Structure 1
């Protein structure tokens, strides 16, 4: 029998030069209500950085990937963000996908937070500096009944928003009655009636025979954009739809790397990309996606119906990206049954919306002051969140 070999180690903190002696000493993650997964990274200098690895409906899978990343990267220099990103993405041979990329997102965001805090500057300063001082934002409107839509639109406008997004339709079959599309137009007109710009989210639940008709009907009413008019993966079909409508087409929340976006750019299928910083490899990869999009004169509007850390990270990309368009954010009381954007932070004013915009954060790192005591307490009781699933009138499964 041969002698046992020394187990290989992936820890190579000393193998590359670093601008700082600061190393990762601990990586933790916290599942907190309503559905968020926060990442805490502690360093040898005592700096703590926070990231977010929220992946709605897949929390436990991401936690497993986070455990692996923690085992691999404790002891690595915090300054070498790109080296850590490359090893996280490539060193396990199999790469990409929503689970790994979400876990990497949480770690990556926290490392940028650490670097900003160590250098005493906001993260946007490390991304090339500011090209704007304010961030245009929009939020979601729910509801199906006309009275509910109108009431929610009024509430959002009173809260300072000038733009919102809403479902284009709750339920359509593969080929449904054309009359079913009339309600979608009325939804748009109701929200616009209070003076809001409105994006219409098809959410991939509308199939090609109906999507073509719906895009045509919405166009005269000038929605801000139509989002996921077909499920991602239908590249040629979305490109064909793009040639049939003058309404900007937005997509990208279910894509996680530059490689995922590339065929859409090359096909001319998209006008606005919407990567999510908590899904698509963190600040490092999302900034690269934004730069890639600019090559094709495509706008950058990060997806973010998630927690405060992901939103703050998005703000820093928005401030520094020349092709930034508008930022999605949760309405503050959208999750008021369990938590909202201000629940786990001590400086909720960072998210104040004035005249449709949020001011650029100026504090070092992400600019958030986390309520760590509450995060630890709430994480002990949080159950995994499951997204709603429903069937249409014909009994067939519908997209969330």
Structure 2
């Protein structure tokens, strides 16, 4: 099961109609970096690395600097790859190397499972196969209360019992939307809120309103450089605070959790270091009494890898599902691995991650575009 080749390539899918704006603007496309490893028995594993606003740069790291770290190793040596990358390239901060490691780690788990003929979640020691799902991803951006309620009712009709609402375009409009959602859907429907790296008004006031409404959490009320502000807001105990897609590594999560900054840990397997690191984060969170609710990225590879980590941890908390009607990176050129139905997400028992990847169509129809998928904010 030795790795004989490693490669990466950025890919892009443009929205026909961009999603509604959130705190960081309105994204124009889905970017990701496909990582591919091949074993000496012919097994091929795939992983999704986060693009980091420059997918070509992340792919370059995989295709150059990390070749001698990975090629020649056993597919099962995910922890050894993690340690060497951190030791060799982490002196000045891992940056894109961590995104590259994430895709490599996921691909190694996939290849390992395929070669062994077993599901990756079984190889990771998992036992749970079904998890409650909430509707997240790019959905439910800024809108009127009536439009948000209509969207949420539609999601409930599809079986979802929880969803994440975006906040940040004004205190009155934010609270009006969330209050309307609670009034229509009742106390049994889970409402998460996400500020997407900060608000332009009094966050403390919003936290009080969300606590009164019964929100599950307020996600990323500040940029990650403002951890002291997380600690101060969390100490008021108005609403649980969540973060993690921009926190990197189990050691960093341990510091955040120990400080009291967050009550919900949200690592993304395509950013934090892969399945291996997400499991480490989960152990830290569980040991310190914090919820483990991973963030998701764009493709079925990320989603299956996320559930692999959750299964390995025995986590019965929420899986963040992408409920968008059209996402070919989840249901077409990349598909499988996860089934979301009746408000639950279920892993498959297929070997590896159980995800099918059409490399030819990705290369032909989803060529990577340079630069960031997020447009420059208006002045």
| TM tier relative to shorter chain | 0.7 to 0.9
Query: TM-score when scaled to structure 1?
Result: 0.82
Q: 2:351 maps to what in 1? A: 364
Q: Is the 8 A contact 2:41 2:115 kept in 1?
A: no
Q: 1:45 to 1:360 in 2, by over 3 A?
A: same
CA contact (8 A) 2:319 2:345 kept: no
SS of 1:157's partner is helix
Post-superposition offset of 1:274: 0.4
- Compute the displacement of 1:57 (Å): 2.0
- 1:368 CA drift (Å): 0.9
How far did 1:329 drift? 2.5
Distance 1:183 1:110 in 2: 43
- Residues 1:308 and 2:288 are matched in the alignment: no
Q: Alignment RMSD, CA only?
A: 2.2
SS at match of 1:388: coil
Match of 2:331 among 318, 321, 342: 342
In structure 2, the gaps of 5 or more residues are: 14-29
In structure 1, which of residues 329, 332, 351 is the aligned counterpart of residue 321 of structure 2? 329
How many equivalent residue pairs? 356
What is the match of residue 182 of structure 1?
172
Deviation string, structure 1 residues 3-58 (Cα, Å, up to 9, x no partner): xxxxxxxxxxxxxxxxx5x3333423342323122111111110000000123522
Q: CA deviation at 1:390?
A: 2.4
**CA distance in structure 2 between the partners assigned to 1:340 and 1:346 by the alignment:** 7
**1:108 equivalent in alignment to 2:105:** yes
SS at match of 1:310: helix
Q: Relative to 1, partners in 2 of residues 1:331 and 1:151: Cα closer, same or farther, differing over 3 Å?
A: same
In structure 2, relative to structure 1, the CA distance for the partners of 1:246 and 1:380 (3 Å cut) is closer
Answer yes or no: is 1:138 the counterpart of 2:134: yes
1:161 Cα deviation (Å)? Answer: 1.5
Match of 1:64 in 2: 60
Among 200, 215, 240, the residue aligned to 2:193? 200
Distance in structure 2 (CA, Å) of the matches to 1:381 and 1:368 = 21
User: How far, CA to CA, are the matches of 2:335 and 2:191 in structure 1?
Assistant: 31
Which secondary structure state, in structure 1, belongs to the residue aligned with residue 38 of structure 2?
A: strand
Q: CA deviation at 1:167?
A: 1.1
Instruction: Please list the CA deviations of residues 189-210 of structure 1 after superposition, one character each: whole Å capped at 9, or x if unmatched.
Output: 2333235321111222226x61
Partner of 2:314, secondary structure, is coil
The TM-score normalised by the length of structure 2 is 0.87
C-alpha distance in structure 1 between counterparts of 2:224 and 2:329, whole Å:
29
CA distance in 1, matches of 2:5, 2:278: 26
2:288 counterpart residue number: 296
- Of structures 1 and 2, the larger Rg is shown by 1
**1-side partners of 2:161 and 2:191: how far apart?**
9
Moved more, 31-40 or 265-274: 31-40
SS at match of 1:27: strand
Q: Cα distance, 1:241 vs. partner?
A: 1.0
Q: 2:181 is matched with which residue? A: 191
Contact 2:132 2:316 in 1 (8 A): no
Cα distance in 2 between the residues matched to 1:45 and 1:385: 37
Distance (Å, rounded) in 2 between the aligned partners of 1:323 and 1:46:
33
**Gapped runs of 5+ residues in structure 1?**
1-19, 171-179, 396-400
Offset of 1:388 from its aligned partner? 3.3
Distance change in 2, residues 1:51/1:69 (3 Å): farther
Q: Which residue of the other structure, out of 122, 127, 151, is the alignment partner of 1:125?
A: 122
Q: How does 1:1-400 map to 2 (within 5 A)?
A: 20=1, 22-33=2-13, 34-72=30-68, 73-94=70-91, 96-130=93-127, 132-140=128-136, 141-170=140-169, 180-192=170-182, 193-194=184-185, 196-206=189-199, 210-333=202-325, 335=327, 339-347=328-336, 350-380=337-367, 382-391=369-378, 395=379
1:59 & 1:101 partners in 2: Cα distance?
A: 13
Give yes or no for contact 1:160–1:353 (8 Å, CA) kept in 2.
Answer: no
